[in-house]
Structure 1
Amino acid sequence: MTRRPTRTGTAAALLALALLAGGCTEVTGGVRGTPGAAGLRDPYFPKLGNGGYDVRHYALSLAYDPGTGRLDGTAEITARATQDLSAFNLDLAGLTVSRATVDGARAAYNRAGDELTLRPREDISEGAEFTATVTYSGVPEPITDADGSEEGWLRTDDGAVAVGEPEGSMTWFPGNHHPADKAAYDITLTVPAGLEAISNGVRTERRKGGDGRVTTAWHAAEPMASYLATVAIGRYETAASTPATGGRSLPVLTAAEPSVAAGSAALRGEIPGILARQAERFGPYPFSAAGAIVTEDGTLGYALETQTRPVFPAAAFDRTTLVHELAHQWFGNSVTPATWRDLWLNEGFATYAEWLYTEEYGDVPARTHFERAFAQDANWAFPPAAPPTAENLFDPPVYQRGAMVLHKLRETVGDAAFDEILRGWPAKYRHANASTDDFTAYAESVAGQDLDGLWKVWLYGDGKPAAM
């Protein structure tokens, strides 16, 4: 994400903690089940996500009426039980649930705040795969974050834009909305004729119905955290190509609202070239599609790295921000943080990708960026690996001081080892989750040296060091 003025643990450990939070034991059909935990105890969002299961696939069928703002949805969630389950939770904010089934049989359900609890007729055995289907509707309302920005389903004059970092995706579909639980997605969108409906991944179908509506289907095969799912509905102008990127053909689709389409066309056309160079630095591009969505200003106040197709307000669609959000496809999207405390691994790398770009193409050494960041008092408010509250997750230390950590690592281990880390880190944790401890251990293994002194001062240290 790029929120500019215009805005330690592992996934397995989280799931283990969640299992400890289960309720009382129940016996149904020979299986001793307990309810899955309502929350994964994330350091900043303890109620976000749910325990007891691992989602494998979301199939979302959504119909949207821009005139009324009404969304009608069916979410089919395929998951594997990680414990014997008598009940399990989904995160869902607002919206009205009218029906729920588990493996085709009606399931009881109830709501408590943003928690939707489903109770299947028969307990689910640990290790079993099951499918929960939820039918719901209503007018989605956005979430206002602790830092004052809005996320979730954002209504526009002729459609909507959905963005979800860190918890906004629960405003438009039920799910396990913690980044530790990634899944594949199929998203089908039905909207009035004359509108485009854009989402993540590859467009597999677009058909006109007899009711004056158009249905578009999107397939995202690689695992995706729910905060990276997106929808953009409106009178978008699209451009599609299949260039050779990183040694393979890659479908690239961009979309821009009409008022900003012409002004953004040239930079949108640079996406394959930027990705090709990033693939040389960071390793093979990790997804089966790429692109961008450019909205009119006023819809959202920040750019977001939504998987395969980042979203930009027109004012933020510049080359630096584009480089940042495309770098996130490796750092944040493919390698996803284990908890929100590990967010600097997303933003520090994406910011350092900006520094690398200007070093190569703008004759501004990364060391110059480092010195400028060192001089800014705002970057020393707290350590990048320990934001004090959720309100601080997108503050300068996470971005700028996070990038400074990487530059000090580069100066300490040398360019050859650092380049190996740049490529090896997203390869080792490709399509997985990783923590700060995972990264420091990996960097030390590549460098072949103890880097505790570096981490103590630059990653975890309070206050500004005496020297650069």
Structure 2
Amino acid sequence: MKNLVILITCFIATYCISQNNEGLLQEKNNFTHQDTLRGSITPEREWWDLTYYHLDIKVNPENKTITGKNTITYKVLKPYQVLQIDLQEPLTLTKVTQNEKELEIKHDGNAHFVTLKKQQNIGEINSVIAYYEGKPREAVRAPWDGGISWKKDNNGKHFIASSCQGLGASVWWPNKDHMYDEVDSMDISVTIPKNLMNVSNGRLKSIVNNKDETITTHWHVANPINNYGVNINIGDYANFSEVYKGEKGDLDMNYYVLKDNLEKAKKHFKDAPKMMKAFEHWFGPYPFYEDSFKLVEVPYLGMEHQSSVTYGNRYMKGYLGSDLSGSGWGLKFDFIIIHEAGHEWFANNITNVDIADMWIHESFTAYSESLFLDYYYGTKASADYVIGTRRNIQNDRPLIGYYNVNKEGSGDMYYKGANMLHTIRQLVNNDEKWRQILRTLNSKFYHQTVTTQQIEDCIIQESGLDLKGFFNQYLRSTKIPELQYSIDGKKLTYKWNNTVENFVIPIQIEINGVSQWITPTSKNKTLKLKSKNATIVIDRDFFIETKNI
């Protein structure tokens, strides 16, 4: 259970810091009433704390419909009589009950305000049951434009999956659809045709054969889970498994793939235990031992659904067979297995309070790709890869988006963010200390939702570095620091250009092959050289631009 009062306070503080940071964020877009209802902690959300969901649905592949209900159990934090449930059109919230009494619903687009008859007293644990039906939005280009993917495999059997990051889990089931409040545990019951299998989050508890040529799969999630991490995956699956000897003991690793791909998967999925070994080294124990780890084949590229990571990279190395870094190292691993599983630590263990801070998910996970390489191929390979990904950076918008309106920042949160973290590693200048910082993040914020400010403060505290201006530079502006320098005889003159206020970091350079640190500022500084015509090489690991003037 989250301490919502503290989280809301942190949320408001982060919002104020970001919005008043000397205009570093872009001008405000035009957001709608629905954006606010979706993205803010409304009065109808803040008074109750999620404790348990039981999602119980029937999926009909033939007419692409879902019918069912979600039992929503919550703790009352303060007296209030109206509760917000989110469900996106064209699905219909047909009724909501409490204690078997139907309740009045005021529908406002995708937000539904339920007036409770029972007095809501502080500390009570209460439940409502939300019934719904209809054709959920069909994914157009999953996972980027999410919803439900209704596909068929090569044998003509149904192949169905959900994906909903950003768009929101309410695109296919009714819930409290805001990142700040994660449910403590969850049951997922899915009824489907008898010739198929559904794989969801957590552990499979039972499969019930029904009288109407259907089965119901019952899954239980023991750990807190964010809404978009909940998933259904329906297909003609084969299953194989292994036990990984991890930092917290035996970890069940299960793999669900289309039956035609079983032998191929048994060879290709060897990247999964390799991933687990590398990431437990860098980030600490896998955060969901109780719920196992699963890799599940789906008809789209992939997604970081908690303990049920989805896979659609066509059994290729790299990203659909290509190397996003251009370094060659990106073809040493299956991008989707490594990247999406990395999210188990950054997105599922540590989750952003507001999607504006989604860089926390994507920057650390994009960076995890290079750390995987570091573990198996060394620091140079890791650096080659992350530096190579700079070619994908657009510098179109800041990494932090807008708060309270469900608006993430720039797609640069992947590789600009990864290179920002790679630069911090250089500033820490001690790889073991850097590893402990990453592990501390995952232990300090274990199963929590966090703000940007909390992540910044933790890294600053653990590193002992003054990084306030640094984070403003890389998170809240589109400026890339430029090191300007010139050599006049035996004098090196240098300074930072294109920086925000208070951006002061040291940088490592080589002078005639000898490494040393300098600390530029926005004013010219000089360094006496031992000889004329010195050769200056700027360390490539720092994500900066350089200009010899």
- Secondary structure of the 1:178 match is coil
Partner amino acid, structure 2, of 1:360: Y
Q: Provide the residue aligned with 1:311 in structure 2.
A: 310
Q: Provide the residue aligned with 1:5 in structure 2.
A: none
Contact 2:246 2:285 in 1 (8 A): no
- 2:450 paired with 1:434: yes
| CA 408–276 in structure 1, closer or farther in 2 if over 3 Å, else same | same
Distance in 2, Cα, partners of 1:107 & 1:199: 30
Deviates more, 1:271-280 or 1:53-62: 271-280
RMSD across aligned C-alpha pairs, in angstroms?
A: 3.0
Distance in 2, Cα, partners of 1:96 & 1:386: 30
Residue of structure 1 aligned with 2:39, choices 41, 45, 69: 45
Q: Relative contact order (alpha carbons < 8 A, sep ≥ 6): 1 or 2 greater?
A: 1
Deviation of 1:379 after TM superposition, in Å, equals 3.8
| CA 397–90 in structure 1, closer or farther in 2 if over 3 Å, else same | same
Distance in 2, Cα, partners of 1:380 & 1:279: 32
Cα deviation code 1:84-128 (max 9, x no counterpart): 111111000132333321233322223221112211212312332
Q: Provide the residue aligned with 1:31 in structure 2.
A: none
Q: Provide the residue aligned with 2:177 in structure 1.
A: 177
Deviation of 1:188 after TM superposition, in Å, equals 0.7
TM-score by length of 1: 0.84
Residue of structure 1 aligned with 2:294, choices 287, 291, 294: 291
Q: Provide the residue aligned with 1:345 in structure 2.
A: 360
Q: Provide the residue aligned with 1:23 in structure 2.
A: none
Contact 1:87 1:123 in 2 (8 A): no
Contact 1:366 1:407 in 2 (8 A): no
Distance in 2, Cα, partners of 1:261 & 1:235: 11
Deviation of 1:232 after TM superposition, in Å, equals 0.5
Q: Provide the residue aligned with 1:330 in structure 2.
A: 345
Contact 2:86 2:110 in 1 (8 A): yes
Question: Gaps (5+ residues) in structure 1?
Answer: 1-8, 18-37
Contact 2:143 2:163 in 1 (8 A): no
Distance in 2, Cα, partners of 1:411 & 1:130: 51
Identity among equivalent positions (%) equals 20
Q: Provide the residue aligned with 1:33 in structure 2.
A: none
TM-score by length of 2: 0.72
The 5 Å alignment of 1:156-235 reads 156-157=151-152, 158-183=158-183, 184-235=185-236
Residue of structure 1 aligned with 2:134, choices 119, 127, 138: 138
Deviation of 1:235 after TM superposition, in Å, equals 1.0
Contact 2:139 2:149 in 1 (8 A): no
The 5 Å alignment of 1:371-450 reads 371-374=387-390, 376=391, 378-386=393-401, 393=408, 395-414=410-429, 415-450=431-466
Question: Gaps (5+ residues) in structure 2?
Answer: 14-32, 153-157, 318-333, 484-543, 545-549
Cα deviation code 1:130-163 (max 9, x no counterpart): 1010122222123669x99321222223142111
Distance in 2, Cα, partners of 1:123 & 1:335: 34
Deviates more, 1:417-426 or 1:245-254: 245-254
Deviation of 1:361 after TM superposition, in Å, equals 2.4
Contact 2:354 2:451 in 1 (8 A): yes
Contact 1:92 1:174 in 2 (8 A): yes
Higher radius of gyration, 1 or 2: 2
| CA 373–379 in structure 1, closer or farther in 2 if over 3 Å, else same | farther
| CA 334–114 in structure 1, closer or farther in 2 if over 3 Å, else same | same
Cα deviation code 1:421-444 (max 9, x no counterpart): 110001000000111110111011
Distance in 2, Cα, partners of 1:355 & 1:116: 44
Contact 1:281 1:419 in 2 (8 A): yes
Deviation of 1:15 after TM superposition, in Å, equals 7.9
| CA 135–189 in structure 1, closer or farther in 2 if over 3 Å, else same | same
Distance in 1, Cα, partners of 2:439 & 2:308: 22
| CA 103–279 in structure 1, closer or farther in 2 if over 3 Å, else same | farther
